[in-house]
Structure 1
Amino acid sequence: MSERYSTFTPGGTGWLLQRITAAFLVVVLAFHFFQLHFVNHAADVTFAGTQARMENVGYFLTMVLFLIAGAFHGLNGVYNALVNQGLKGTPKKIVFWVLVIAGVALIVQGTYVALAMAGWS
């Protein structure tokens, strides 16, 4: 029988943040689907409607936190999956920094778009 192997140290910061972001993403994704598929049907979602929703500070903050949590959760998961597959040494450091730069770029660009949609930029 295979043994359990994970780069996450149970109880460690990375382990905890992965679980917290997962729980947050499940709740916010449910809200997002409800809002954009049941309250506003896909055919009724417009640029103006998106701008109106983003002008609400609570909605804006929720969507920016959704972006940050999703970026962290996804990129952290990819990194740990690669490490679990045996990535180590210099390639591990390179992959880490490429993912950090990609994550920061994604969050900066996504926040910029959110600010523009809210009319705050």
Structure 2
Amino acid sequence: MLGMIGGLQYQARAAARAAGFTFVGIILVLIGSGFLSAALWMVIEVDYGAITATALIGGLYVLLAGLCFLFANIRPRVRVPVAPVAGVPSPSPSPFAAIAEGFAIGMQAGRAARTPKD
């Protein structure tokens, strides 16, 4: 039960982080679109000057928004500790380990059957 709660907390944190970056990205896209629209209007009306600066600022905001969208999709590589469930044996890591364990148990049973019991 403890592991499930930890997993839910991790998912909630990841979703909140993604939502936050997405919200900031949307705001930056809106700001960038405003600057780019103003820059396009100025380019059409006048040739060069302050227009280049406005276009660069708008481009910068759109670039920052794109980075925020990329960061929203990055999941941190954090392992959530999961408490072992009592009473349930953990599964063998590989089929070879199960075969080796079965062989060892059989060897012990054979030796116990051969030796006389006093």
TM bin (shorter chain): 0.3 to 0.5
TM-score normalized with structure 1 length: 0.33
Q: Which has the larger Rg?
A: 2
TM-score normalized with structure 2 length: 0.34
